DNA sequence: AATTCGGGGTT
DNA sequence: AACCCAGAATT
């Protein structure tokens, strides 16, 4: 029996997709995931909830291939929240290395201490308790619930947003910033909310939809030839229309920015054996005002400490 | 709602 | 050189 024709726009703006379409999407992608899932260490059954949480924080804006080796060393060194909570901040920042956004490393450290203090060292499975932890936002809380505890939750990351935008909304890319409509659409496809399904099915869909977006339904050049749901994809049915939001996206500058300068300073402090004199930082050849500004902000963020006693003063990674 | 916050691989 | 990446916190 031939599949019914797919309308060019399967979901009206603000509307909900049919239960039949949702079921087909979820079941097909989930079945595909069972066969094609990457063997990532934080997906192993023996991986603890703490290991999952660490992976999610590291994966906030950092690609899987760069996270994996750091995650392995991290869990070997600090197997649980209590062990990590006892670490020196300087060691934490060195272990974080070049994953980027080092404030995440400090938040994860605060997070571990909060887990020890509030939850006896065990990662909570409650949404509001997770959200109350430093560095845990809407996405990460949902992801931990799904991946560490197998609980039903609405996991909406950049991959899921793109998969839903294409398959159900028929657009090349989701809006630049997540909208309430997207969250509602994401919720409506999770097994157990609108369409029936178990917690296990919901958690499996969360992992599967993310994986499809990461591996097949990619931002740049999607591999539609390998996509299990190409046959029901509204974007494909519409003839791959271009991105409506193109041009409005902010191109984030890098060269000469404070972010780059901060990164250079942090690299210097990480690699230093002892305290770094101000002169060594000034030798990074950015302009003086910028270095001063960045140094001040790093001190404010707790990413560096200053010893004003020597002249010139010296700077180091923070200690407790 | 808009900004800030790294860094590196891909196109 | 622009784009992208399992986002969160702050303003």
The secondary structure of A170-194 as a DSSP string is --SS--SS--HHHHHHHHHHSTTTS
**What is the CB-side half-sphere exposure of residue A147 using CA atoms within 13 A?**
28
- Is the Cβ–Cβ distance between A212 and A33 less than 8 Å? yes
Average pLDDT of the residues in A31-40: 98
Average pLDDT of the residues in A274-294: 93
Which nucleotide shows the minimum CA-to-C1' distance to residue A173?
C4
Give the residue whose CA sits closest to B11 at C1': A220
* Confidence tier at A137 by pLDDT (50, 70, 90): very high
* Confidence tier at A254 by pLDDT (50, 70, 90): confident
Average pLDDT of the residues in A311-318: 97
Which nucleotide shows the minimum CA-to-C1' distance to residue A270?
B6
* Residue whose entry in the numeric block shows the structure tokens 């790093």: A298
Give CA–CA dist A303/A318, Å, rounded: 6
Which has more pLDDT, A11 or A40? A40
Residue A291 in this model has a pLDDT that exceeds 80: yes
Average pLDDT of the residues in A94-122: 98
* Confidence tier at A12 by pLDDT (50, 70, 90): low
Average pLDDT of the residues in A174-195: 95
The pLDDT value recorded for residue A286 is 74
* CA–C1' gap, A20 and B5, in angstroms: 42
Strand pairing report for A276-277 and A305-307: unpaired
The pLDDT value recorded for residue A253 is 76
Residue A253 CB neighbours (<10 A): 9
| Catalytic residue list of A | 56
* CA–C1' gap, A308 and C3, in angstroms: 42
* Confidence tier at A14 by pLDDT (50, 70, 90): low
Average pLDDT of the residues in A140-168: 98
The answer to whether some atom of strand B lies closer than 7 Å to the beta carbon of A100 is yes
* Confidence tier at A6 by pLDDT (50, 70, 90): very low
The pLDDT value recorded for residue A183 is 96
Listed range (A5-14, A109-118, A129-138) with the worst mean pLDDT: A5-14
Give CA–CA dist A190/A198, Å, rounded: 10
- Is the Cβ–Cβ distance between A204 and A33 less than 8 Å? yes
Domain boundaries of chain A, sorted by first residue? 258-316
- C-alpha A113: how far from chain center: 21
Give CA–CA dist A166/A111, Å, rounded: 35
Residue A277, H or E segment: strand A276-277
List b or e across A118-135, with b for residues whose CB sees 16 or more CB atoms inside 10 angstroms: eeeeebbbeeebbeebbb
Give CA–CA dist A174/A160, Å, rounded: 10
* Confidence tier at A8 by pLDDT (50, 70, 90): very low
* Confidence tier at A206 by pLDDT (50, 70, 90): very high
Which nucleotide shows the minimum CA-to-C1' distance to residue A102?
B6
Give the residue whose CA sits closest to B2 at C1': A177
Which nucleotide shows the minimum CA-to-C1' distance to residue A55?
C6
Q: Which nucleotides of C are covered by protein (CB under 7 A)?
A: 1-9
Residue A13 in this model has a pLDDT that exceeds 90: no
* CA–C1' gap, A124 and B1, in angstroms: 31
Residue A283 in this model has a pLDDT that exceeds 80: yes
The pLDDT value recorded for residue A9 is 45
Please determine, looking at this structure, whether the domain spanning A258-316 carries the CATH number 1.20.120: no
The pLDDT value recorded for residue A285 is 79
Contact residues for strand C with beta carbon within 7 Å? A 40, 42-43, 55-56, 59-64, 101, 107, 134-141, 143, 147, 157-159, 162, 173, 210-211, 213-214, 218-220, 249, 251-252, 254-255
Residue A232 in this model has a pLDDT that exceeds 60: yes
The pLDDT value recorded for residue A252 is 67
Average pLDDT of the residues in A213-232: 97
Residue A69 in this model has a pLDDT that exceeds 80: yes
Q: What percent of chain A has pLDDT over 90?
A: 88
């Amino acid at each position: 029996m031939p599949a019914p024709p797919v309308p060019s726009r399967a979901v009206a703006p603000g509307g909900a997709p049919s239960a039949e379409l949702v079921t087909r999407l979820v079941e097909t992608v989930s079945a595909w995931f069972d066969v094609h899932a990457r063997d990532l260490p934080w997906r192993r059954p023996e991986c603890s909830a703490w290991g999952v949480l660490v992976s999610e924080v590291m994966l906030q804006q950092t690609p899987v291939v760069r996270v994996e080796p750091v995650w392995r060393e991290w869990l070997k060194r600090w197997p649980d929240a209590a062990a990590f909570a006892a670490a020196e901040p300087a060691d934490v920042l060195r272990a974080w290395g070049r994953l980027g956004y080092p404030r995440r490393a400090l938040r994860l450290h605060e997070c571990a201490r909060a887990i020890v203090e509030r939850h006896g060292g065990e990662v909570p499975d409650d949404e509001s308790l997770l959200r109350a932890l430093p560095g845990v936002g809407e996405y990460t809380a949902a992801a931990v619930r799904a991946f560490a505890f197998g609980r039903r939750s609405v996991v909406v990351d950049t991959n899921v947003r793109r998969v839903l935008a294409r398959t159900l909304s028929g657009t090349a890319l989701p809006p630049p910033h997540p909208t309430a409509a997207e969250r509602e659409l994401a919720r409506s496809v999770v097994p157990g909310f609108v369409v029936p399904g178990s917690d296990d099915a919901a958690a499996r869909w969360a992992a599967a939809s993310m994986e499809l977006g990461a591996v097949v339904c990619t931002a740049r050049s999607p591999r539609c030839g390998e996509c299990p749901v190409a046959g029901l994809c509204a974007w494909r049915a519409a003839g791959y229309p271009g991105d409506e939001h193109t041009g409005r996206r902010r191109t984030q500058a890098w060269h000469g920015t404070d972010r780059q300068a901060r990164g250079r300073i942090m690299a210097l402090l990480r690699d230093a054996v002892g305290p770094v004199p101000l002169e060594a930082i000034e030798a990074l050849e950015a302009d003086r005002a910028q270095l001063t500004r960045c140094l001040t902000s790093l001190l404010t963020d707790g990413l560096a400490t200053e010893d004003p006693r020597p002249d010139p003063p010296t700077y180091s990674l923070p200690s407790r």
